Amino acid sequence: MPVHGSGTARRLRLLAVATLFAAFSQLCTLPATADAADVPARGSARMGMGVIAHDGRGGLPAPALAAQTEGVDVSGHQGNVAWSTLWSSGVRWAYTKASEGTYYTNPSFAQQYNGSYNVGMIRGAYHFATPDTTTGAAQADYFVDHGGGWSRDGKTLPGTLDIEWNPYGAACYGKTASAMVGWIGSFLTRYKARTGRDAVIYTATSWWSQCTGNYGGFAAANPLWIARYDTAPGTLPAGWGYYTMWQYTSSGPTVGDHDRFNGALDRVTALANG
């Protein structure tokens, strides 16, 4: 009996090892995890990329008021844009992604930035921030040097800092709230030194609360462009009593991202003129 028992035990051990080996082999042939597969290529980030994933999508926005002016924002994701179609639909201002980090410039920038201007729109440029790659000052310089400057021609809006969820990793780019505030401050200070203008800040309230500790110190100088795909902009980040622009959808006509300026066209012109 002891010999029988020993043989049975050996067979059971061998069977268990074979089962584990088969399971391991199958595991090794599985595709990469969804998280890894979903990380986009560097440079492909654009305004509002993380809003749906992190902030949700609500109902349709309220009808535009007479004192609001329709706008769009575009990036390399859209390629060549039909600006005459957008103009005919009532769009009067536009922002184009110029740069990201210190490693990417939009290959469609000229068609988008100049095309919007040529149909009569007031236009500006934005920079997608990556605070984990280089300093705020370095990214402000890169932005200004690659299309993010400003001129007092009545048709050029101040540059925008797009600061939101990190599409390539940790939401707050591995920074504490105080370090994030310092990085943003570095960018804004350098941008103003280079252009004479205070940059617009584009963000979402939930990201701002999570990653800056809901810091309110930039509100006095920097206009707010709030991102929220819902019936209204909702609660604003600390310090700002009103928004200047609202990105209200990523599924608008002609191009995806549509926005409303919180004022009539003469106020858009006033912001362009400083």
pLDDT at residue 104 above 80?
A: yes
Confidence (pLDDT) at 105: 98
CB-based contacts of 91, cutoff 8 Å, min separation 6: 70, 71, 72, 121, 258
**Pairwise CA distance, residues 82 & 121, whole Å:** 13
**Pairwise CA distance, residues 56 & 231, whole Å:** 12
Average pLDDT over residues 200-225: 98
Q: Vertex 253, ends 250 and 258: CA angle to 5°? A: 45
Confidence (pLDDT) at 17: 45
Average pLDDT over residues 216-245: 97
Contact indicator for 222, 198 with CB cutoff of 8 Å: yes
> Domain limits of the chain?
2-30, 51-273
Average pLDDT over residues 253-265: 94
Confidence (pLDDT) at 24: 41
User: Could you report the per-residue pLDDT of 111-167, keeping only the tens digit for each?
Assistant: 999 999 999 999 999 999 999 999 999 999 999 999 999 999 999 999 999 999 999
Place 209 in a pLDDT band, splitting at 50, 70 and 90: very high
Confidence (pLDDT) at 48: 63
Q: Does domain 51-273 have CATH number 2.10.10.90?
A: no
Confidence (pLDDT) at 136: 98
Place 3 in a pLDDT band, splitting at 50, 70 and 90: very low
CB-based contacts of 237, cutoff 8 Å, min separation 6: 203, 205, 208, 209, 212, 214, 215, 216, 219, 224, 226
pLDDT at residue 212 above 70?
A: yes
Average pLDDT over residues 198-221: 98
Contact indicator for 243, 262 with CB cutoff of 8 Å: yes
Active site residues: 73, 162, 164
pTM of the full predicted structure?
Answer: 0.83
pLDDT at residue 27 above 70?
A: no
Average pLDDT over residues 41-62: 69
Most confident of 5-9, 32-36, 43-47: 43-47
Place 28 in a pLDDT band, splitting at 50, 70 and 90: very low
Average pLDDT over residues 216-225: 98
